[in-house]
Amino acid sequence: MALEDRITPSRENCDYTSCYCEENVWRLCELVRRERAAQLEDMFVVFISNEKRTVPLWRQMSGREGQPVVWDYHVVLLQTGCRSSSVVYDLDSELPFPCSLQLYAAEALRSDCGIIPAYHRKLRVVPAQSFLSNFASDRSHMKDSDGSWKMPPPPYPPIHTTENQMNLDDFISMRPAVGWGRVLSLDEFLQRHLGGASPSSPSSAALSLSP
């Protein structure tokens, strides 16, 4: 992509905490608002999940031997309006940063064909400005019953709004009547943003998911 289209010079310039993808993307959106505000209108936060919160993604840095990582949810940033194709910023992916949406769809999302329905992906697409204005997390979902952290939290304070301390579930939910943005199936998302270009289907050897 053209240098003037990039919202960050490199992956290393982004705030990152493992297992806090929603906050990593919030901080990335905040960086855009602070340094390149005019581009924020072309940014969309994409929550990937489903009703059972079991969604496979390939080419994740925590993956092993070509197998997908099955997340309860994952969050990436989509940038449209570029001189070439739309691009995805995924701080947990081993793909380029940013990565063209076409490549990300083919390598990371792939297809729901051949995957049992429990693992089919849905995507909640939220304008970045709306995400910055409404998202709140007290990080309680990352604590065990005894109050200990499942994974160390980011070094900065939790993100909240004047109205909310915690509404993460409203963003993860794939019920259209809940939360912000628009909920799409994987096919609908690709049709909207790639004009119907189909990613490859996962081979049986690369996908060992059971009901």
- Per-residue confidence (pLDDT) for residue 81, from 0 to 100: 79
In the chain, the percentage of residues whose pLDDT exceeds 70 is 88
CA-to-CA distance for 124 and 167, rounded, in angstroms? 14
Class of domain 13-194: alpha beta
Query: Could you state, in order of their start, the residue ranges of all structural domains in the chain?
Result: 13-194
Q: Is the dihedral of CA 153, 159, 163, 167 positive or negative?
A: negative
- Answering whether pTM is above 0.85, one says yes
- Per-residue confidence (pLDDT) for residue 199, from 0 to 100: 60
User: Locate tokens 């900065």: which residue?
Assistant: 156
Catalytic residue check, 15:
no
Of residues 14, 74, 120, 193, which has the active-site annotation?
A: 74
Structure token digits, residue 24: 């990593």
pLDDT in tens, 33-45: 999 898 999 999 9
* Confidence label for 205 from pLDDT (cuts 50, 70 and 90): very low
Of residues 21, 29, 82, 99, which has the active-site annotation?
A: 21
Of residues 14, 29, 82, 90, which has the active-site annotation?
A: 90
Catalytic residue check, 113:
no
pLDDT in tens, 158-188: 999 999 999 999 999 999 999 999 999 999 9
Catalytic residue check, 146:
no
